[in-house]
Chain A
Amino acid sequence: MSSFPYLLVLLLLPLVGGIVVAGMGGAPVRTAKFTALGFSLVEFVIAVLLWFDYRSLLASGSAEPFGEVVKVAWIRSFGIHFALGADGISLILIAMTCFLVPIVLGASWEEKLPAGRTISGYFALLLVFQSAMIGVFAATDVFLFYCFFEVMLIPMYFLVGYFGGPRRAYAATKFFLYSLLGGLLMLASVIGLYVASGHVLPEGTLDWETLRSIAHQIPESTQVWIFLGFAVAFAIKAPLVPFHTWLPEAGAEAPTGASTLLVTTMDKVGTFGFLRICLPLLPAASQKLVWLFLLLALLGIVYAAIVAAMQTDLKKFVTFTSIAHFGFIVMGVFAFTTQAMAGAVLYMLNHGIATGLLFVIVGMLIARGGSRQVADYGGVWKIAPVLGGIFLVATMATLALPGTNSFVSEFLVLIGTFQRHPAWAIIGTAGIILSSVYVLWIFQRTMTGPLRGAAVVDTGSAAYDGDDGPRGRAPELEPAPTAGSSGGAAVLVAAPAEPKVKAGFGDLKPREIAVVAPLVAAIIFLGIYPKPVLDVIQPTVTATMHAVGVSDLAPATQNLNGGGN
């Protein structure tokens, strides 16, 4: 173990960065933006170093659950510590957050904010939010986890409510009230956990390692109550259907950068919470309530996919795809096989990258057209081939095409779930059909066909202000192919006078390509060679399975030959 306090630095650096950037009110905006980006890049480099450090720790065969531990007594009378540590799961999520923040800053470089809001304030808040995210992933004391869990709401509340779109006040309030409800139940459960540990130990504690060691001694009925409090909080955060209705609003109203982080990192706290708190600390309850969470997971996969197909708002659409993906993650968490759980953890990372790309590219589209309505776009691929191509990559990653990162995680979740719960897995697998329907339909409506839509075509009317909904919807184009229209014939038929493209609706600029390139590279790399990440995840997954008291099933057929692998 190294002596460098990686986690503490990772926790504090963005906070410092946020304060510095916020204090640069007088400096040119450009300086503030580069300062923020600089902080996030240094943070990313430290995260990379942490990754390698953790890997060498794994290689050394350490049996400790957490590496890189920082531990200071905080509230002695309640046995509460300020304790940070990283295991495979939190490391993945910390790395993901540190990877995404510079990208989000780059993507928000020219964000159009509501009048009176400064971009330096926006960037500062994003950095503060990052700090809270690192905290929640690294906390190894349940009370500290709770604190960060609540603290992260504050920057996000302002990111939505102060910097968001026209309905920001409604969205932010809804988001906040929802989260508050979850937070209260969770607080009750934290205290419940403390009291319950006091029944086993001479003194109550909220230290994670101690709690895990006594987890099996807490009676099941008590565990169930504590579990439910945490579970509601996590289900709201993830969010699971039917606790999801805050997310489409918040995700759509927040500025693109904030919604990207909201969906890709903050929502992960929900599924992370299940893995960090519910499963290892409340194993009996976890086993008892498996059916409930598999049910909610399937509901999410199927229901959110169906609802996604009908969305008319591009950003709401992305949030619904995300809800469907969280269904897969939860299914993997509660299937209790190594493949499914490792797949779920990998899914958390992959979702961050793939949905991150989808959100960022949708944001770039919206920045050009000034409208969030699907019907305001059409045929964009033709005039913006690079944007269309990246959109296609994001589309393929969303529907988990092999070769993209999402395939590996979705496959692992499903194959792992099938071993234990074949019927559930089969219904979940139907999600791969649904995902192709909703995502390709959006692609078809916005990217293909003739150039059309009020956001793309210059109709000669006054400048489009984008905030008051769509004007002049393009007709839905879904004609049935007819005989005699195939081949090249119709090219000539269906080419009336080319409509004029709206001024400023160009292809991706170099800055934007630089922003999406790392995401595309990560999608392909992790699709082809996910082993380095799986190697980091596996020991923690194995430990979590062990803590719950479950193990993999042997193949159903007995006395197998060897033969291959």
Chain B
Amino acid sequence: MTQALQLAAHLGAAGAGPAAPPEATGVTAIAWLVLVLPAAGALVLMLGGRRLNRIAPILGSLTVVAAFVVAVSIFFATIGAGAGDRVHEIPIWSWMPVQALQVEFGMRIDPLSLTFMLLITGVGSLIHIYSIGYMEHDERRQRFFAYMNLFVAAMLLLVMGNSFVTVYAGWEGVGLASYLLIGFWSHKPVAATAAKKSFVMNRVGDFGFVIGIFIMFAEMGTTSFSGVFANIGMVAQQHPGAVTAMTLFLLLGACAKSGQVPLQAWLPDAMEGPTPVSALIHAATMVTAGVYLITRSADIYNLSGTGQLVVSIVGAVTILVGAIGGCGKDDIKRVLAYSTVSQIGYMFLAAGLGTGVYGLAILHLLTHGFFKAGMFLASGSIMHGMTDQVDMRHYGALAKRMPLTFITMACGYLAIIGFPYLSGFFSKDPIIEAAFAAGGTKGWLLGGAATLGAAITAFYMTRLMIMTFFGEARWKNLTSPDGRAYHPHESGLVMTIPMLILSIGSLGAGAFLASGERLVGWLTPSVGEFAEPHPTVLSAGVITWGNVVLMLVGAGIAYVYFGMRSVPVTQPATRNPVVMLSRAGVGGDAINETLVARPGLWLARTSSYLDARGVDGVVDGVGTAILGLSSWWKGWQNGYVRSYALSMLSGTLLVAVALMVVNFS
């Protein structure tokens, strides 16, 4: 190992070009501990088996909390350093050294990765603690916490790696953890199917990601961040097409992981996993990995206008697809899942708007991390009190029964719809302004989509709030599918305290991070200088207050439809095409089904048939033709020598032919 360290150090020194960041010192040098702690937890819990069931919740949570503490101390050390000294590398070992390809297993600690480390371990700690209560009665707690720790470790690797290959390793690692956790109740066929679907659709993205890496190596002979960023300008001068190809292939990876169009269909199904999983993986952290990847690759995207345009178009389309999908769902978790799809669309939109605006994507990512995780935990708390029912048509008037849950959900609600001066307002509004600032038709289209999306968000979130917390207590006359009556009650403190902490974030994180350009300024060393967007078509004030008005309109329509009328307990039939579209998840599954699944299955069946009848058929046909030899053979288990003699005879013939060929040529 020491040898590897020396080699890695040597490589670092030899390749020290203009952009190679210095090696970490002080507390930053132990950043690997942030990764190792949850990884060790996962390993111990996995190997330990069920006898660890009792201590698993504590052990699993403690490792993540400890990782958070280390991350915080590195954060303070970094913020204490000057703005010019906030990017560090930690080489650890040489992973895949083959001639020109020197893939190092190392870390890059800079403002961007630190921001994510804090989000992952911070929100991760809260959700782990919440899970102590949520998973209390599950007989496989040890496995649950092992997977959760595995996830945290893989996600940390994703954001801490110092090369695209290390990121890719974390990328697939979180895919595995997500697969395991979606399928945690894998004895349910729906959960097992959803898990596989998420893995396979993510692999489609991984295909894109890894090809992006291949192009980097073919063009620049390196895959490390410092190497790529130092040379990408040269590539853009000589082969601009290669840069655009890189951006598009990386985008494919980002789309799959972040549930963006056209690879969004797996995310709503992922709600089959336990709710803390939905909160941590499918809302706050993993699904934002695509935003991380694009932001991290800012130096590449900045050089390809086409790449950036496609990113923002994907974002804008996804905002609408997700928002419309959220309107027609009755499953509370699926509404939140579509809302996640839509909100990440805002982050993609911002990331695609490019130079100077990346910080806004990260700002929305952080505030979304708080309010969406809070809302998911609240929905889990509702399920906990409602015998695991997720159908909102069975809810109603729960605000009094579950006051703390209601407060958490309400804070998240106000934040996500962009209520003035709460978190979402500070993070979403600048993105919409930046979209309008793109100018011209592009600005109108992107800005218009973002604005419309905000209004629809207000509609479906108001619908969720009304159906869940207000109106008639429909659950009084209903029973759960297995015939039990509902007795809604508030969850215990171990669940409500993490929820309340997150609601503080929902309320205040936006104002705190946005004021004085605190976050965007901090991110400058990683993503470049922040440039305040200046919309030209409309003034910033008009956009801001116009959005507030539209938000109120959206909420008002929802109130008219759901607050002033009684909610049917079964989903009413409809002929309204918009409602049908929404209930069908805006066709995400239909597209997958017709374009990929059906032809794929047909191809597989045909090939399999042909393999047995065609290729093997030919072989067996030849076999039949020499049936004499065959049947003779079967009778002679011990006739090996004779048949060998026969083969020698034919061999001799072939030899004769071969000799002639060789001699005559």
Contact = CB atoms under 8 A, between A and B. Distances in A.
Given A487-B383, A565-B11, A426 B211 contact: yes
A433 B210 CA distance: 12
A278 B330 CA distance: 64
A339 B187 contact: no
Contacts of A162: 637
Interface in A193-207: 195-196
A540 B242 CA distance: 33
A289 interface: no
Interface in B402-455: none
Contact of A440 (B200, B215, B230): B200
Contacts of B193: 444, 478-481
A561 interface: yes
B246 to A, nearest CB: 12
A272 B214 CA distance: 26
A414 B214 contact: yes
A489 B480 contact: yes
B607 A402 contact: no
Given A415-B217, A432-B206, A310 B331 contact: no
B623 A177 contact: yes
Contacts of A482: 190
A436 B205 CA distance: 12
B169 interface: yes
A58 interface: no
A115 B231 CA distance: 68
A185 B12 CA distance: 52
Interface in A527-542: 528-531, 534, 538, 542
B96 A530 contact: yes
Given A195-B663, A444-B196, A489-B388, A432 B186 contact: no
Given A338-B98, A402-B168, A483 B231 contact: no
Interface stretch (B22-30, B72-80, B499-507, B653-661): B653-661
B172 to A, nearest CB: 5
Nearest to A408: B96
Given A403-B169, A440-B200, A219 B665 contact: yes
Interface string B627-665: 000100110010010000001001100110111011101
A192 B662 contact: yes
A415 B203 contact: no
Contacts of B210: 411, 414, 429, 432
A217 B238 CA distance: 40
A560 B234 contact: yes
A557 B238 contact: yes
A88 to B, nearest CB: 13
Contacts of A28: none
A564 B222 contact: yes
Contact of A562 (B15, B388, B637, B659): B15
A492 interface: yes
A321 to B, nearest CB: 14
A116 to B, nearest CB: 13
Interface in B211-231: 211, 213-215, 217-222, 224-231
B390 interface: yes
Contacts of B658: 188-189, 191-192, 195, 225, 229
Nearest to A401: B172
Contacts of B16: 562-563
Contacts of B607: 303, 306-307, 310
A488 B388 contact: yes
Interface string B328-362: 01110110000000000000000000000000000
A225 B665 contact: yes
Given A486-B333, A489-B390, A555 B221 contact: yes
B430 to A, nearest CB: 33
A474 B283 CA distance: 36
Contact of B230 (A169, A414, A564): A564
A558 interface: yes
A506 interface: no
A442 to B, nearest CB: 11
A339 B165 CA distance: 15
B661 A483 contact: no
Given A192-B662, A402-B173, A534-B97, A411 B217 contact: no
A415 B619 CA distance: 36
A318 to B, nearest CB: 15
B172 A561 contact: no
A552 interface: yes
A413 to B, nearest CB: 11
Contacts of A412: 96, 98, 101
Contacts of A441: 196
A-B interface, 9 closest residue pairs, ranked by CB to CB distance from nearest: A562-B17, A563-B230, A563-B17, A564-B226, A310-B608, A564-B227, A488-B388, A402-B169, A555-B221
Given A306-B607, A448-B191, A557-B231, 6 more contacts: A245-B611, A411-B165, A412-B98, A418-B215, A483-B330, A563-B230
14 contacts: A184-B647, A191-B655, A225-B658, A245-B616, A448-B186, A483-B391, A486-B331, A487-B390, A494-B187, A557-B234, A558-B234, A563-B229, A563-B231, A564-B15
Interface of B: 4, 11-12, 14-20, 46, 49, 93-102, 104-105, 163, 165, 168-169, 172-173, 176, 179, 183, 185-196, 199-200, 203-204, 206-207, 210-211, 213-215, 217-222, 224-231, 234-235, 238-239, 242, 269, 271-272, 274-275, 329-331, 333-334, 383, 387-391, 480-482, 571, 589, 600, 603-605, 607-608, 611, 615-616, 619, 623, 630, 633-634, 637, 640, 647, 650-651, 654-655, 657-659, 661-663, 665
